[in-house]
A = this chain, B = another copy of it.
Amino acid sequence: MFGTAAVAIDHRSAQPPMSFAAQSSRPGTQLRLGKHRSAYLAGDDADRLFEVESGAVMLYRILDDGRRQVVEVVFPGGICGLASGDTYASCCETLMPSVLRSFKKSEIDRSDTLRTRIGERLQSQMSQMHDHMVSLGRKTAEERVCTLLLRLQEVEQVAGKPECAVALPMTRTEIADYLGLTLETVCRTLTSLARRKLVEAGSNKSEFRVPNVTRLRQAACCDA
């Protein structure tokens, strides 16, 4: 279903200007991708690991009948490209123009620093995956959407944007496939949240303001 033919995909698409600190001094090679580009597809030879430097990517799997589940959304600092076999089990696609740093498996085996760094990152990603499984298994549609909004808000805070605006760097379909819902349910839920002033629609369809984080947190049923 996902052949290695896909490797041909666009490893140097048109790219907005971006600058990064200390990028030349780091190991690995940089990979700049436009919006909605694949870094790799399920079935590709899993010879590389990636660190997201800027932007965001999603990892997803697709069932034979077309159902899709986004299993991870990875922001700067996060790792993707892990595989237990010798091919990737998931596809990796950018949500926005992104820069990835790619490391050969052999390169990693040789570097202690790299392995340690990756190990640390994986711990926090595992924890986030656990959170997300709670969402998928036990939360209502509204709670899932609120949980995602809070997560995105947190990411922006960390990135140094202290505003209460939250950018949704995903289409409704992508959100739905991440939250285990349909796009219609995501729409309805966002509308409902807006009607009840838990969020306020921004200028853009992919931007919201959160007037009261505490109230949103309650609606998300977050213990975290």
Task: Point out residues on A near B: beta carbons under 8 Å.
Answer: 1, 59, 61-65, 67-69, 71-72, 82-84, 89-90, 112, 115-116, 118-119, 122-127, 129-134, 136-139, 177-180, 221, 223-224
Residues in chain B near residue A115, CB distance under 8 A: 115-116, 119
Residues in chain B near residue A89, CB distance under 8 A: 127, 130-131, 224
Q: Is the CB of B138 within 8 A of A69?
A: yes
Q: Is the CB of B223 within 8 A of A134?
A: no
A126-B122, A130-B90 given as contacts; is B223 within 8 A of A61 (CB)? yes
- Chain B residue with Cβ nearest A121: B84
Q: Is the CB of B126 within 8 A of A82?
A: yes
Q: Is the CB of B223 within 8 A of A180?
A: no
Q: Is the CB of B138 within 8 A of A72?
A: no
Residues in chain B near residue A119, CB distance under 8 A: 115, 118-119, 122
- Chain B residue with Cβ nearest A218: B64
Nearest CB in chain B: distance from A90 CB, A? 6
Residues in chain B near residue A136, CB distance under 8 A: 133, 136-137, 180
Q: Is the CB of A130 within 8 A of B71?
A: yes
Nearest CB in chain B: distance from A184 CB, A? 16
Residues in chain B near residue A65, CB distance under 8 A: 221
- Chain B residue with Cβ nearest A88: B127
Q: Is the CB of A129 within 8 A of B127?
A: no
Closest 9 CB pairs of A and B: A137-B180, A136-B136, A84-B124, A84-B127, A71-B130, A69-B137, A69-B134, A67-B138, A69-B138
